[in-house]
Every structure is written in C-alpha cells, then in structure tokens.
C-alpha cells in the first residue's frame, strides 16, 4: 500500500501497522492539519475491526513537530472511553497510567501498531464493562454461560432515536482452516463468527425471545465456502447461547470439511479437460475455481474461460468465450455472455463431463464466430 503524501516517519509507522497488524485495518481518509506544510498528510481516520464492525478513530500527528506523539480522537458515541485514565475510589481521584504514549519514540516504526492494539484491548474491556452494567437478567445469564469461550467481543449501543442493544461476536470452531487448504494464500487466519444481537431496555420483550442471529466470516473465506447459504439451526424456546453454539459448530465443521474436499473434485474436472482441450493457459491452482483454455475451430482461435462455483458439480461451470482475433469499437476483445445452459449431469465422471463440453464447443464455436464477425466495427 503506497503512503504518498505522508512524512517519512509517519509513513514508516503506517507501513509497519498494515504489514504486521493481526486485524485488517484501513485508512478511511487522510488530510493535512498544518498551513506551513499544506501537502503533507499528518492526520488520518483509521477503520479498526471490532465486534464484526469497524470503530473509527482519528490519529492526529503534527507535521510541524514530527517527534511529538499523536493525539487520538475516539468516536462520538464513546464519550466515556478514557483508556489511559485510572479512576480512584474517592471522588475526583484520577491519574494517568503508563501507556504506549508515555515514552513515545516516533522514529520507532512499531509504535503506532502498539498504540492501536493497546487502545483496542482497552476499548474491548470498556465495552465489556458497559455490557456488564446493563440491568437485564437474561443478558447477565447469557454472559455467564459463555464467559469461558475465548475471543468473544461485545458492544453496547444506545441512542435517543434507536433502542439499546448488545451485540456479541462469537468466534466458532476451534479449527485452523488455513492449514486445511493446500498452498493456502491467506495471510490472516480465516474465521467464522456468529453475530448475536439482544435488545435491552424493552420491558415488553420476552425473556425467552429469540435474539437476532447472523453468520459472518473473514472476506477471503468466501472463495472456499459460501457462508450466506448456511441455514442456521432453529433457536428453540428457552434456549441459551451455550446450548445453541455446539450444534451450530457441528454443522459448520461438516460443511467446511466438505468445502475443502470439493477443491479436489474441481481439480479433477480441470485435469479431465486437458486431454480434449489441451493444457490450460491459466488456472487457479489453490481453489480450482477458474481455468482458461485456447480452443481452435479451423482458423478461428478463441479462449474459453471456465468459472466453477463452490457448488460444483451440482452447479455446472459457467463458460465465457473470448476471441483473440476480433475486437470491438473500443479495442476490447469480443466476448460472449456467460453460458450456463449446455448438456450436464453432476453424476457423470469428469472425463464424460469434459467430452460433452468439448462436443458443445464444436457447435457453439460457430455461433460465437458469427457474433465476432457481427461485432466488427463498420468502416
């Protein structure tokens, strides 16, 4: 990620932050706060993942005093978050505690990451304390049943215009999905979470009402596994999270294992195409979700792109033709629309699938050649 416009000391801190953070942190915006160096970016808004959402913090450096520690401005809804202030038992008894800003060294590229991680940990404790103070028996019981689970994050939100609610982010399954995928390209561990949202402060809400549930995952995992299509088990009357989570994890574990196994199924299909279409020009070697072949029909030469979903072979591959000899008025290669209708059965052996597709290409190549000729610019 380029950091053009930032002074060298800030740039090195940002580079270290993005390269070494265990969370996928982003910069939402950056700007200059000094009139003496108007083109020098010395403040920015960080988007920091927390509880399956993002918290926004402004990091304020000062380009005129490059060795000074930055200020941090938290979100408008977190007025009570004072991470480096220790409050004593007596009224008015408060003091600053030693923290990442105490002996700040702007020449050390690791310091911004250390600061953000320390603040995030304290923010997590702050939210846990807020949730623990909610006067709701059902919520207190739920927390007591899952307190032993590692990695749970929680967030309390309230406002004048919307009712209060408590959100939980519950990591599921104690399994290393990264290690299950051969030659895994993922940098961060892939996780699946259950988002659980309880309304609070509603006198009319039943003590046994079903919370809002939603499965979520790290973005890269969708290449392997379609989390949106998982059907959640029913939440029975009187059920609590400690009862619900084991059956959900058992369901997910089976489906993740099936998804990993399906990689080999897709790989065998792509390999079966080689005897009839030749070696692929390009193929996805890890997840086997796509492959491209060069096809000849007499003097007419074109590419066939195969796109395989996670539901292969129940769902046939989508095909797209691309000419290497014909270009449209914009100078782009002529391509066909996605083709999803052709002879197919998920019960066929990979070799039969490949042969039937080869036969289909012989006939369809004539239609595509006609499309290419019709797409040629008229002079």
**pLDDT tens per residue across span 75-103:** 988 889 999 886 544 555 556 678 889 88
183, 200 in Cβ contact below 8 A?
A: no
E strands within 69-143?
71-73, 85-87, 94-96
- The candidate with the shortest Cα–Cα distance to 249, out of 178, 196, 173, 146, is 173
Section 357-365 average pLDDT: 93
DSSP string, 174-222: S--HHHHSTT---SSPP-EEEEEEEE-S-TTS-TTPPPEEEEEE-GGGG
Report the pLDDT value the prediction gives residue 45, as an integer from 0 to 100.
97
131, 197 in Cβ contact below 8 A?
A: no
Does position 115 have pLDDT exceeding 90, yes or no? Answer: yes
What confidence category does residue 202 fall into, taking pLDDT thresholds of 50, 70 and 90? low
- The candidate with the shortest Cα–Cα distance to 266, out of 312, 220, 316, is 312
Section 205-222 average pLDDT: 82
Report the pLDDT value the prediction gives residue 235, as an integer from 0 to 100.
92
Helix H or strand E segment including 308: none
What confidence category does residue 148 fall into, taking pLDDT thresholds of 50, 70 and 90? confident
144 φ, ψ (degrees, to nearest 5): -65, -25
């Amino acid at each position: 990620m380029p950091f053009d416009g930032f002074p060298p000391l800030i740039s090195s801190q940002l580079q270290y932050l993005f390269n070494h953070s265990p969370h996928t942190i982003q910069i939402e915006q950056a700007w200059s706060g000094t009139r003496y160096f108007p083109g020098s970016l010395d403040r920015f808004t960080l988007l920091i993942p927390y509880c399956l959402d993002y918290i926004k913090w402004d990091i304020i450096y000062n380009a005129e005093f490059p060795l000074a520690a930055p200020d941090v401005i938290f979100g408008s809804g977190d007025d009570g978050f004072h991470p480096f202030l220790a409050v004593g038992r007596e009224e008015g008894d408060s003091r600053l505690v030693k923290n990442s800003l105490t002996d700040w060294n702007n020449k050390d590229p690791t310091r911004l990451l250390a600061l953000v991680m320390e603040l995030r940990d304290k923010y997590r404790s702050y939210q846990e304390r807020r949730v623990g103070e909610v006067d709701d028996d059902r919520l207190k019981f739920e927390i007591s049943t899952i307190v032993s689970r590692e990695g749970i994050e929680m967030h309390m939100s309230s406002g004048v215009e919307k009712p209060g609610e408590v959100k939980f982010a519950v990591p599921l399954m104690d399994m290393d999905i990264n290690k299950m995928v051969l030659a895994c390209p993922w940098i961060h561990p892939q996780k699946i979470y259950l988002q659980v949202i309880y309304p609070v402060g509603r006198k009319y809400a039943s003590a046994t009402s079903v919370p809002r549930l939603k499965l979520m995952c790290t973005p890269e995992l969708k290449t392997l596994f379609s989390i949106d299509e998982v059907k959640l088990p029913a939440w029975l009357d009187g059920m609590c999270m400690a009862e619900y989570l084991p059956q959900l994890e058992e369901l997910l574990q089976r489906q993740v294992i099936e998804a990993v196994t399906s990689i080999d199924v897709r790989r065998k299909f792509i390999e079966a195409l080689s005897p009839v279409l030749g070696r692929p020009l390009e193929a996805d070697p890890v997840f086997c979700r796509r492959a491209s072949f060069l096809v000849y029909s007499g003097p007419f030469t074109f590419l066939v792109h195969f796109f395989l979903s996670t539901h292969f072979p129940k769902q046939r591959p989508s095909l797209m033709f691309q000419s290497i000899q014909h270009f449209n008025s914009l100078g782009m290669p002529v391509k066909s629309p996605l083709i999803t209708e052709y002879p197919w059965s998920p019960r066929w052996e990979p070799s039969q699938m490949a042969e039937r597709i080869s036969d289909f290409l012989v006939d369809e190549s004539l239609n595509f050649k006609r499309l290419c000729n019709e797409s040629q610019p008229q002079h």
